Amino acid sequence: MQIVQEVTNGTSMLSLISAGIGLGFVNSALTDRKPRHVALLPVRDLSLDLPLVFVWRKDNNAATLKRYIHLLQTIVGLVQP
């Protein structure tokens, strides 16, 4: 096997695979976005955590954003730096 292309996101990977270039693993969230010529096969007994982070512009001082951050801190324990 020869690596001819590497990608940093699932959408790009699905595009390359659709064009006949390669194979790989993608997040199951892309199931509904796969090109029609691409097959997806769930991998049994493989469960990976998908760490998420909440992002926003540092200079955004909107009251709505502050309320949303407070809500996230309350519900999911978001830690603000």
Residue 59, pLDDT above cutoff 90: yes
- What confidence score (pLDDT) does residue 45 get? 87
27-66 as b/e, with b when 16 or more CB fall inside 10 Å?
eeeeeeebeeebeeeeeeeeeeeeeeeeeeeeeeeeeeee
> Above pLDDT 90, what percent of the chain?
31
Q: What is the mean pLDDT of the chain?
A: 86
How far is CA 48 from each of CA 13, 19, 59, 65, 75, rounded to the nearest angstrom?
19, 28, 34, 30, 23
Q: What is the pLDDT of residues 18-56, one digit of tens each?
A: 999 888 999 888 988 889 999 999 888 888 887 777 888
pTM above 0.75, yes or no: no
Q: pLDDT-based confidence at 15, cuts 50/70/90?
A: very high
